[in-house]
Chains A and B, each alone.
Chain A
Amino acid sequence: MTDQPVLDVRGLVVRRDDLVAVRGVDIQVRAGQRVGLVGESGAGKSLTALAVMGLLQLGWTTEGQVLHDGVDLTRISDRAFSSRRGRTLSMIFQDPLSALNPTQRVGAQITGVVRRHTEASRDDARAQALELFTQMHLPRPEQMLRAYPHELSGGQRQRVMIAMAMACYPQLIIADEPTTALDVTVQKQVLRLLDAAVQDRGSALLLITHDLSVIAAMCDHVLVMYGGRVVEEGPVREVLRSPRHPYTKGLLESQPTLDNIELEGTARLPSIRGNVPSLHDMPTGCAFRTRCDRATAQCEVVPVLEGDASRAACWHPEPALSQAGRS
């Protein structure tokens, strides 16, 4: 592995007028690494991904650097960006129905991507598309190529999206909530395929989700975002086994899982109090302090990420060597 990261986001700020949604985020993704970005609404995770892909809606502006393959993506022209999108980096969206062109057969869309970025002939591109569809376990791939997006089920569409994203062996794949719109049973199949596809190609993955269990299944490094900042970062095992930021800890404890089902009716889930702050009234200092049991006057100053194995932006973090077990 080279020491040059495939994605190096430095001090990213995304804002619209005086509305600051992302407040200085650093992300490094090394070749072949799988990084998860967790957060809930207003955390800024999706805007971060869109900013990296140069797909922000009109009115949003960015500050900071997004380095990929030796260039700063925030400074190159739309044209130069287009030639990279789909080739060296590609994206998988939450809603494949709106991401696919409804008037074009999916096969044509895939071969279009292949031919735009490679020298492949029409027949070669078609053969590649067929191969990709087979890898994605799409039933009757020959016929599937001739289908329009609306003729496919949600899971099939998302597999088409993954196939398209993988077509040019990108260095980096950004997947924004790839399974949120799918049924639970389909979610697992799609994650499995994404996992295998990333593995085969040695691509790096930046997976954005609100679901910690998806991160646990797919990633080896995780960043937890809250209020536009990264509040905790580290190897997945460290962060999820012994979370140091109270927000991460609260998220982990408040999810109903197999373990607390045994309690059946008697006990209650620990929950994070308060509400997710909106962009318009984000607390100053540590954004989580209004919901945090440990908050003190010190928390009015923004904490920085600190730590060894995993880093947390908190003035009163959990001790680093806490037990792995959860209640």
Chain B
Amino acid sequence: MSTAADGMITAGELAGRGPDPAGARRGRRRGQVNTGLVVGLVMTVTFLAIAALSLVWTPADPNAVAPADRLLPFGSPGHLIGTDALGRDIASALMIGARTSIVVAAGAALLGLVLGTVAGLTAASARPFVDETVMRGADILLSIPGVVFALVLAATVGAGVGSTVFALSVFFTPSFTRVVRAAALRVLGEDYVAAAQLYGRNRLFILARHVLPNIFSVLIVQFTLYFAVGILTEAGLSYLGVGVNRPDISWGMLLKEAQETVGVASPLAIWPGLAIVFAVLGLNLLGDGLRDVLDPRLRKRAS
């Protein structure tokens, strides 16, 4: 397969060697900037920066009720985006909400990623029986709707950040398991794995030193995309009232509160809505952009 059309393939293959030395070269060689990736990166960094800022500073206390200042419009002095029906500062609430989104969504995605990687690598490298067991287990978990599971969990354990993270990670883990298993199987089929086995490397070494580095780009991309899914799902759960509640603040919860006053002050629902769109769009653009750069196989299939 190396002979024909090799010129064509070499360039593409070179572009697929990941973030190490090839990474720097590739951008120059292709001579084109991936717009989606750059926009996504800027949006995501902004989102993360705002969340980080809320740790040290917010314009006001978002839980401080001030009936005198209720329903101030956009651009009011001291309340940049205005206040809600109880006079609480919306800008501050949004900043804290960004933090909650990160804790819940990134936490759940990370937990799902770790569990999914362990399960996926086990399934890919173990005997067929173990593989079948793990994967059918994943199928069963996937067949339970995530939102329903979170509702049940909230009803039994109680709503809150902890149970939301747990519910989401249970929801994410099987998907990660599938992706990791598929990627790992591809690497395990490579000759360098066969070579490593022949000079006596054990399974753990092969998984850690050969498989993990080579599926790392897949993991990064999946994490980014599920981070976005996590934000959406968390917003949905909080909107239903089984996620985050005051004094914690999340965007979904703000949406729920805004809905209660929708006839009085409709714009209230716009701000958390925009925040969700901004964060999710940014992460999705980033994830797709990374996938294009890191995994040329998928790009080829898509075109």
Do the two chains touch directly in the complex (Cβ atoms below 8 Å apart)? yes
- A321 and B180 CA atoms in complex are apart in Å by 63
Contact of A279 among B5, B7, B31, B303 (CB under 8 A): B7
- A199 and B114 CA atoms in complex are apart in Å by 63
Given contacts A40-B3, A41-B3, contact A17 B31 (CB under 8 A): yes
Given contacts A58-B303, A280-B29, contact A21 B7 (CB under 8 A): yes
| Closest partner residue, chain B, to A56 (CB atom) | B8
Given contacts A17-B30, A280-B29, contact A42 B11 (CB under 8 A): no
Kindly state whether residue A203 has any CB partner on chain B within 8 Å: no
Taking the nearest CB of chain A, how far is it from the CB of B5, in angstroms? 4
Q: Which residues of B contact A232 (CB under 8 A)?
A: none
| Closest partner residue, chain B, to A57 (CB atom) | B8
Kindly state whether residue A47 has any CB partner on chain B within 8 Å: yes
Q: Which residues of A contact B32 (CB under 8 A)?
A: 17
- A280 and B32 CA atoms in complex are apart in Å by 17
Interface residues of A in 245-282 (CB under 8 A from B): 278-280
| Closest partner residue, chain B, to A279 (CB atom) | B7
- A110 and B152 CA atoms in complex are apart in Å by 58
- A143 and B116 CA atoms in complex are apart in Å by 47
Kindly state whether residue B6 has any CB partner on chain A within 8 Å: yes
Kindly state whether residue A158 has any CB partner on chain B within 8 Å: no
Q: Which residues of B contact A50 (CB under 8 A)?
A: 5
Could you give, for residues 40-59 of chain A, a 1 whenever the CB lies within 8 Å of some chain B CB and a 0 otherwise? 11111011001000000110
Taking the nearest CB of chain B, how far is it from the CB of A12, in angstroms? 14
| Closest partner residue, chain A, to B32 (CB atom) | A17
Contact check, B31 vs A18: say whether CB atoms are below 8 A apart.
yes
Kindly state whether residue A176 has any CB partner on chain B within 8 Å: yes
- A47 and B7 CA atoms in complex are apart in Å by 8
Contact check, A42 vs B6: say whether CB atoms are below 8 A apart.
yes
Contact of B10 among A18, A42, A58, A181 (CB under 8 A): A42
Q: Which residues of B contact A208 (CB under 8 A)?
A: 4
Kindly state whether residue B143 has any CB partner on chain A within 8 Å: no
- A325 and B11 CA atoms in complex are apart in Å by 40
Kindly state whether residue A177 has any CB partner on chain B within 8 Å: yes
Contact check, A16 vs B11: say whether CB atoms are below 8 A apart.
yes
- A181 and B31 CA atoms in complex are apart in Å by 34
Kindly state whether residue A135 has any CB partner on chain B within 8 Å: no
Q: Which residues of A contact B8 (CB under 8 A)?
A: 21, 46-47, 57, 60
Q: Which residues of A contact B202 (CB under 8 A)?
A: none
Contact check, A177 vs B3: say whether CB atoms are below 8 A apart.
yes
- A19 and B10 CA atoms in complex are apart in Å by 12
Contact of A180 among B3, B30, B303 (CB under 8 A): B3
The 3 closest A-B pairs by CB, nearest first: A41-B6, A46-B5, A177-B4
Q: List 24 A-B contacts (CB under 8 A).
A: A17-B30, A17-B31, A17-B32, A18-B31, A21-B8, A40-B3, A40-B6, A41-B2, A42-B7, A42-B10, A46-B4, A46-B5, A47-B5, A47-B8, A57-B8, A58-B303, A60-B8, A94-B4, A176-B4, A177-B3, A208-B4, A210-B3, A279-B10, A280-B11
B residues neighboring A (CB under 8 Å) = 1-8, 10-11, 14, 29-32, 303
Given contacts A41-B7, A60-B8, A210-B3, 17 further A-B contacts (CB under 8 A): A19-B11, A21-B8, A40-B3, A40-B6, A41-B2, A41-B3, A41-B6, A41-B10, A43-B7, A46-B7, A47-B5, A47-B7, A94-B4, A177-B3, A177-B4, A180-B4, A280-B29
